Structure 1
Amino acid sequence: MALDQEDGDYDSYVGNTVLTAASTSDGVLGSEQMVDATLVAAAADLVLLEAETLTAHPTRAQAVRVRATARVLTLSNELAPGFALPRRELDALSELLDRWDETSDAGRAHTAHRCAMAVVGQVPSVVRDAVNITLLPTTRMHDEQMFVRCIQIFESLYRQVADRIAQSIIALDSGDTARPLALLGEAANRVRATQGLYRVLTTMPPDAFAVIRAHTNGRSAVQSRPYRQVEDLSAPRPSDGQGPGEAHGMTLQGTLLLREADLGSQPAADIRKVMRELDSAWRAMKRSHWGVTLKTIGRVSGTGGTAGADYLRATAQRALFPLLTTNTPT
């Protein structure tokens, strides 16, 4: 990461190798819990970063960003339920948000910083260390530090969603419908909670992002492997020219269509319903991504060689499970 200024890729930019290594089981927490701990640690550090900046540079724009990051941390139990925080760790932040207009910038920064520090103290030390050493932006811009933290949070979430779809395929193939209902319902809840994270990204000034883009060519989120896994495990899809083509192997949509005659009409209908909920949440998330991109870069090409916002608009219209609306239960 420290040496990839000229030839880095998306994984090295985000620090995926380090974060993945740190999220293996520590003997107390399982790997899924450690991934969620990584997400929580990144969210807490995001609040620390912005609260410290508000203290040094108390501006209206920075106060708006602190408010947005604080809201993300209050959503951590939805974004990362596998590392759920005690309510007491989040109550003070929620109270701050409720009385935001009555609080000074100094009070906002102090409370947000104190709450985030308390959250950091809950995270395993190996995760804290990994999060600390993976903030290596390509510029000296404060905005890029926020940007890196946000995409690290997204990467952890994508990993968890992909894992839940993979587990659902295995369970459904064996005739188990209860487990996929729980797994996919949780995945949909996680994805819905990303709306708070996009509010943070909307605070990025277009001119600041233009500088970041100039230093991160070839490090596009289109290269995100967990994101691709979510879509490739969901249903076969033709190549869009920007990444892997049609998935080979089992997909959730294919497994449902293959097995639903054996599942029974009501269990199959329940599975279809939760799959549609995940589909809806995933597409809403992609529409938010498109909207933020349109605001920050307009219609210029993406750093990964895509058509930028126009590419994101097209992908946001693609269903995770395209046959669910055309095939009826057998």
Structure 2
Amino acid sequence: MSINPIQQWLNGRPNARRFPFEPTMVAFQHHGKHAMPQEWLTLLSTARDRLFEVSGPKDHLTAFLFNALDKADNRFDYRSYLALPLLPIPDPDTSSDTAARLMARRNRYHVLLLSDLIAFELHALDSAKAPLPRLRPTEPIVRKRLRHAVRASVPALRRLSIDLHLPDEPVSAARHLVAMACVDRSSTDRLTLRTSMLPVSTVHDEWLFVRVLQAFELAFGQLAVDLTAVCSAVSDKQLPEAGARLCTAAALLREAGPLWSLLATMQPEAFHTFRVHTDGASAIQSRAYKLVESLCRTPDRQRLHSAAYRSVPDVQARIRHGQATIDDALDAIRADQHTLSQTPALADGMQQFAAALQQWRRTHYRLAVRMLGTEQPGTGATPGTPYLLQNRETAVFRHRTAIGNHQQHQQP
């Protein structure tokens, strides 16, 4: 019997650059995280314990081991399930790049995630030896899935000034997009994509599920950065600039809409099969989404103390310590009639963003009902669709109507 590659790595002079990521990922995708053999988990735990001895940059390896051992450590959650520590999720607390650079990075990784999904679907069409073989969808479903995946990629490609001239036939278009996406893919990109796919099962559609949720996290991370900038702009009475930034944020959220059509190609049977192993990981634990929601306006007391916010204690703490919101910033300038005279651009931005977010919530609810029904709890005994129904029409901004009324009063 050949020696386990992690044991071989440990027996030598451990170097982070030479960690056997590839055979480790093959093992995870062959068994699924839920059924990973104990031998592998023990060796991965040993590798983590010996990180202080490891030479070379250790950030990626540390984050990978954090995600890989979450079930073994009994701390499996949404963040580790989606391997978010391995992805460049924008964050208003840590992202120091310009808005343009952050958006470009989000667009690039959006395309990388979707091209990886497309490549996985094409591999499964071409070979029975592709990973995650259980409950493979029929070819018509795959063709529909490829069409939606390509469509969901196009807005980011346009933002990156890439014109594909894609063929109409979905499989040909998908192959063309994957070839294009591989052209400038770096070794870091390849490692990030490879190690950020740690499915809990061997069900084919889980790959789709993970990649789409990761793409949503990228989008909401970018939106949190945008809304933080909007808060600052309103506080500085730069209302036209704030309105323009909100319009940009609304456009990004609308462009993420096709991801729902893509996710809707997931087979309900497949979802229910792998979902039994995701207990503890729920989308209500999304930190990026809670930041977006709470930056618009401070959540009501009941909402703040709900399971949604208890699952992101750092965001809950930010709110309790007086996190600035767009509503708060507007409160501070309501008495300044000169400043309020500049509100048309801001009101338009708020209206566009609120409409886009409400549409996102409604679509999320409809898909959840299709998969779970109207009374089913979410994963980890979270509220599920009843919670989504309660939240889907919650006002995004308290002040949107007030601003609209002010505009009407100013009209001749």
Please indicate the TM-score interval, normalised by the length of the shorter structure: 0.7 to 0.9
Shift of 1:313: 1.7
Q: Residue 132 in 1 paired to residue 194 in 2?
A: yes
Q: 1:127 to 1:179 in 2, by over 3 A?
A: farther
The Cα offsets for residues 112-168 of structure 1, whole Å up to 9 and x where unpaired, read as 123222123245543342122101100011100110000000000000011000011
Q: Is the 8 A contact 1:5 1:138 kept in 2?
A: no
Alignment of 1:195 onto 2:271:
no
Q: Counterpart in 2 of 1:74?
A: 154
Deviations 1:212-259 (A, max 9, x none): 210101110100101000011110112431233666321012212322
- Scaled by the length of structure 2, what TM-score is found? 0.69
| 1:242 maps to 2:310 | no
Cα distance, 1:271–1:18 mapped onto 2, change above 3 Å: same
* Structure 1 position 41 matched with structure 2 position 41: no
Provide the residue aligned with 1:315 in structure 2.
391
- 8 Å CA contact 2:102–2:222 kept in 1: the answer is no
CA distance in 2, matches of 1:321, 1:266: 19
Distance 1:325 1:22, change over 3 A: closer
Structure 2 vs 1, CA of residues 265 and 222 (structure 1 numbering), >3 Å: closer, same or farther?
same
- Pair 1:266–1:43, CA change in 2 (3 A): farther
Given candidates 201, 210, 217, the residue that maps to 1:148 is 210
2:369 corresponds to which of 291, 294, 303 = 294
CA gap of 1:26–1:46, structure 2 versus 1, over 3 A, is: farther
What does 1:137-216 correspond to in 2, within 5 Å? Answer: 137-216=199-278
Assess, with a 3 A threshold, how the Cα gap between structure 1 residues 181 and 324 changes in structure 2: closer, same or farther: closer
Within the candidate set 275, 278, 289, 2:353 is matched to 278
Q: Residue 160 and residue 291 in structure 1: after superposition, are their counterparts in 2 closer, same or farther (change >3 A)?
A: same
- What's the Cα RMSD here? 2.6
CA contact (8 A) 1:261 1:329 kept: no
Report sequence identity in percent: 26
Of stretches 49-58 and 141-150 in structure 1, the one that deviates more from structure 2 is: 49-58
What TM-score do the two structures reach when normalised by structure 1? 0.85
Q: 1:2 to 1:143 in 2, by over 3 A?
A: same
Partner residue, 2:78: 10
Q: Does structure 2 conserve the Cα–Cα contact (< 8 Å) formed by 1:158 and 1:226? A: yes
Larger radius of gyration: 2
Stretches of structure 1 lacking an aligned partner (at least 5 in a row) = 101-107
Q: Aligned residues, how many?
A: 311
Q: C-alpha displacement at 1:18, in angstroms?
A: 1.1
Tell me if the contact between 1:70 and 1:112 (Cα under 8 Å) persists in the aligned partners: yes
Contact 2:90–2:221 at 8 Å: present in 1 too? no
Deviation (angstroms), 1:37: 2.1
Q: What is aligned with 1:105?
A: none
**Using the alignment, how far apart are the partners of 1:26 and 1:321 within structure 2?**
27
